[in-house]
């Protein structure tokens, strides 16, 4: 008998058996992943309850049949805010709270799903510990902070048979999936260059969400606030003293030990369409072709990073140019964009083919326009006659990326940003972040997970502080 979910009980049991087999294969140390059909409650463990984490767990709760069993945050004020929200929503705050996710994962044995929304340097260890306990994991972008962690993350997810989702939010949207189909169709001919640009890291006028970089490491120390577990906040990173208003909260993105700069923050959004639509393979080189002053320990004020990708079958190599810190590509590259938009917009992604261009407005890849060779202005991909008969080849969902993940945890489909996409994608993004740190062109051998630069090779794996091994 089928329920409203569209999956038969027999089909559900079959999927659950497949996952259990995978878990058994990866060894007795790992618990079997849990799949629960619609109507049965999924128990969530939330690591990082404020900021984007707040958006994540609230959205998952809104989908129904989801219960937060435990909240964890190094900042007790965020746990208090979660309790207050429950009271305001007339919900019972029947969850346990922790400041150390290791304790949460050790004690909360009934968790089905873990949501990780913490600084970049803490993603990998928390998610891998959860996967080893049979939990499906939703992890904020850029998934992890280093290439070694990306490879390790993928290995553990495959061994344990769990679902994962990286939080690049527009992946399920019709605009992005349709844009990817247009790019794959060949209507633009051979696409050899992509230009992406964003307005971060600096805080733009009217935008309160941002941070400044570079930031030299400060001297001295301040008292650690009573509500903050600073040791757990540092996690695997090298120990350093607490300084007020320097790292906690969003300013950590500027520091090499904790973040991945604007490229790690926004690249997993703005470059998502490029990876989907061009089906980019392994990156073969990376170089910061323009960069502001380099400051030890911190990402630069602005950069232009070139990422080169190998040919894929009969499709040519692709060069992707990333611009941040308010750097923009030349208007001469995009006359149709300028004619349509009145100038080069503040953010966007431009695909240049030998038969035309596609321009994706904003940072998420879901608002797309096209102009073929000889056309003076852009037109929406939904209205241009060259796009109307291109078939739909990607799956569609009637929900957001968080609910798509939750549905997968119920045995309904697969997350669109699972490891097959997220791991190679984030590896390329992280190589670009390394190019912001290290001068010169970095040649990358994905098969060996190694570059031709000795310094880069020392940065592939993170520092792991004693007691935080994983």
**Model confidence pLDDT, tens digit, residues 37-49:** 888 999 999 999 9
Q: Which residues are bridge partners to 324 per DSSP?
A: 303
DSSP-assigned states of every residue in 410-454: TTSS--TTSHHHHHHHHHHHHHHHHHHHS-SPEEEETTTTEES-H
208-227: pLDDT as tens digits: 667 899 999 999 999 999 99
Task: With a cut of 80, say whether residue 1 has pLDDT above it.
Answer: no
DSSP 69: E
DSSP 8: B
Q: Are 109 and 103 in contact (CB under 8 A)?
A: no
Question: What's the CA gap between 166 and 268, in Å, rounded?
Answer: 9
3-class DSSP state of 85:
helix
pLDDT at 123: 98
Residue 324: CB atoms within 10 A of its CB come to 29
Closest CA to 140 of 417, 420, 464: 417
pLDDT at 204: 61
The backbone torsions φ and ψ at residue 118, rounded to the nearest 5 degrees and listed phi first, read: -125, 175
User: Using alpha carbons only, how large is the chain's radius of gyration in Å?
Assistant: 22
Closest CA to 321 of 276, 368, 274: 274
Residue with the two structure tokens 């247009």: 182
3-class DSSP state of 196:
strand
Please report the beta strands in 209-317, taking only residues with DSSP state E, as ranges in sequence order.
283-291, 303-309
Task: With a cut of 90, say whether residue 157 has pLDDT above it.
Answer: yes
pLDDT at 64: 86
CB-count burial class (<10 Å; 0-12, 13-18, 19+) for 401: buried
Question: What's the CA gap between 36 and 65, in Å, rounded?
Answer: 10
Q: What is the mean pLDDT of the chain?
A: 92
In this prediction, residue 71 has a pLDDT band, given cuts at 50, 70 and 90, of: very high
In this prediction, residue 26 has a pLDDT band, given cuts at 50, 70 and 90, of: very low
Domains in the chain, start-ordered, CATH in brackets?
9-170+402-419 (3.40.50.720), 174-394+427-459 (3.30.360.10)
Task: With a cut of 70, say whether residue 16 has pLDDT above it.
Answer: no
- The token duo for 315 is 């499709």
Pairing of strands 96-98, 113-116: unpaired
pLDDT at 7: 34
Q: Which residues are bridge partners to 47 per DSSP?
A: 72, 116
310-324: pLDDT as tens digits: 999 999 999 999 999
Q: Are 299 and 176 in contact (CB under 8 A)?
A: no
Sign of the alpha-carbon torsion through 145, 146, 147, 151: negative
């Amino acid at each position: 008998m089928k329920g409203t979910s569209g999956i038969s009980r027999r089909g559900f049991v079959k999927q659950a058996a497949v996952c259990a087999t995978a878990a058994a294969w990866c060894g007795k140390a790992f618990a079997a992943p849990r799949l629960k059909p619609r109507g049965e409650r999924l128990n969530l463990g939330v690591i990082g309850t404020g900021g984007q984490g707040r958006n994540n767990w609230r959205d998952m709760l809104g989908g129904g049949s989801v219960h937060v069993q435990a909240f964890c945050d190094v900042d007790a004020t965020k746990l208090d805010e979660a309790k207050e929200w429950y009271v305001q929503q007339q919900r019972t705050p029947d969850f346990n709270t922790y400041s150390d996710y290791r304790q949460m994962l050790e004690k909360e044995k009934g968790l089905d799903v873990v949501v990780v929304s913490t600084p970049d340097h803490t993603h990998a260890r928390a998610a891998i510990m959860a996967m080893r306990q049979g939990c499906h994991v939703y992890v904020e972008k850029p998934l992890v902070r280093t290439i070694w962690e990306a490879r390790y993350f993928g290995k553990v997810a495959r061994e344990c048979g769990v679902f994962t989702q990286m939080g690049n939010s527009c992946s399920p949207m019709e605009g992005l999936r349709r844009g990817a189909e247009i790019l794959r169709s060949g209507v633009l001919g051979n696409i050899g260059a992509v230009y992406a640009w964003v307005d971060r890291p600096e805080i733009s006028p009217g935008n309160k969400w941002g941070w400044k970089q570079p930031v030299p490491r400060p001297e001295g120390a301040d008292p650690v606030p009573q509500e903050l577990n600073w040791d757990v906040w540092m996690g695997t990173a090298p120990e350093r003293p607490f300084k007020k208003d320097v790292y906690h909260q969003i300013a950590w993105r500027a520091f090499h030990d904790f973040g991945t700069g604007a490229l790690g923050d926004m690249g997993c959004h703005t470059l998502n369409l490029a990876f989907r639509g061009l089906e980019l393979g392994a990156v073969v080189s990376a170089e910061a072709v323009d960069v502001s002053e380099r400051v030890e320990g911190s990402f630069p004020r602005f950069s232009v990073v070139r990422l080169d990708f190998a040919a894929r079958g009969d499709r040519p190599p692709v060069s992707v140019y990333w611009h941040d810190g308010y750097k923009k590509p030349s208007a001469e590259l995009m006359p149709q964009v300028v004619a349509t938009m009145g100038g080069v917009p503040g953010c966007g992604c431009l695909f240049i083919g030998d038969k035309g261009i596609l321009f994706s407005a904003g940072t998420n890849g879901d608002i797309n326009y096209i102009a073929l060779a000889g056309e003076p202005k852009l037109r929406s991909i939904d209205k241009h006659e060259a796009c109307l008969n291109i078939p739909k080849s990607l799956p569609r969902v009637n929900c957001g990326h968080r609910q798509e993940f939750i549905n997968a945890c119920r045995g309904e489909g697969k997350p669109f940003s699972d490891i097959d996409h997220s791991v190679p994608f984030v590896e390329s993004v992280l190589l670009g972040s390394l190019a912001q740190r290290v001068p010169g062109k970095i040649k990358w051998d994905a098969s060996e997970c190694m570059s031709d630069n000795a310094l880069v090779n020392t940065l592939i794996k993170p520092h792991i502080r004693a007691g935080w091994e994983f």
